[in-house]
Amino acid sequence: MEFYTLKIANVERQYPLVSLSPKIRIASFNILGDKELAQKAAFELCKKLNGLKFDYLVGPEVTVLPLIHEMAEILGMKRYVILRKQIHGYMIKPIYLNNKHKLVINGADAELIKNKRVVIIDDVVSTGKTIKAILELVEKLNTKVVAKIAILKQGDIFGDEIKDLIYLEKIPLFKTGS
């Protein structure tokens, strides 16, 4: 198996290259369980938010959880919002997108960020589709997005909604044969 070595916030890791299609491979980045990387990346990302005024951090489940938790800790925030991929029994008046991404926000969290300023956080942004879906969902709540931030930007396939993405490192897409 081939690996790609990546240094993020002075932490070096090797990630296996996995196939997305017959012609494209990616480094399989996963921050879950890597407390050291989550802490150091969170610290560096928080520095990039210096001077921005916002009320909450918002991100999609699951892989962003350690990062958003560490960032909230560093910033002294008592709450952050995680968007789910499906409606769960505990949710009251969930709001959801009925598209491919199927993002859901619990009604209580929706009220929390309604008419507020937020920072959208993801671990890796490849196509920008997840961030675009989050933008669409929070727009329903009249929530102002003041920044979009990620550990990694992968490739260069982005629309106007993602052109101002703040990130720590860029990681390539790996193309194989013709």
| pLDDT in 10s for each residue of the chain, 178 residues | 899 999 999 999 999 999 888 888 889 999 999 999 999 999 999 999 999 999 999 999 889 999 999 999 999 999 999 998 877 778 788 777 765 557 888 889 999 999 999 999 999 998 888 899 899 999 989 999 999 999 999 877 666 667 889 999 999 888 876 5
Strands 56-60 and 81-83 come out as parallel
User: What pLDDT score was predicted for residue 111?
Assistant: 95
Three-state SS at 138: helix
pLDDT at 85: 82
Give pTM, 2 decimals: 0.90
Residue 94's pLDDT is what? 75
Dist. CA 86–CA 103, nearest whole Å? 7
Cβ atoms of residues 45 and 168 within 8 Å: yes
pLDDT, residue 79, reads 97
Task: Give the pLDDT of residue 158.
Answer: 61
Closest C-alpha to 134, from 168, 107, 104: 104
CATH class name, domain 33-170:
alpha beta
Please report the sign of the dihedral spanned by the C-alpha atoms of residue 114, residue 119, residue 120, residue 122.
negative
Q: CA-CA distances (angstroms) from residue 1 to 16, 37, 177? A: 7, 23, 17
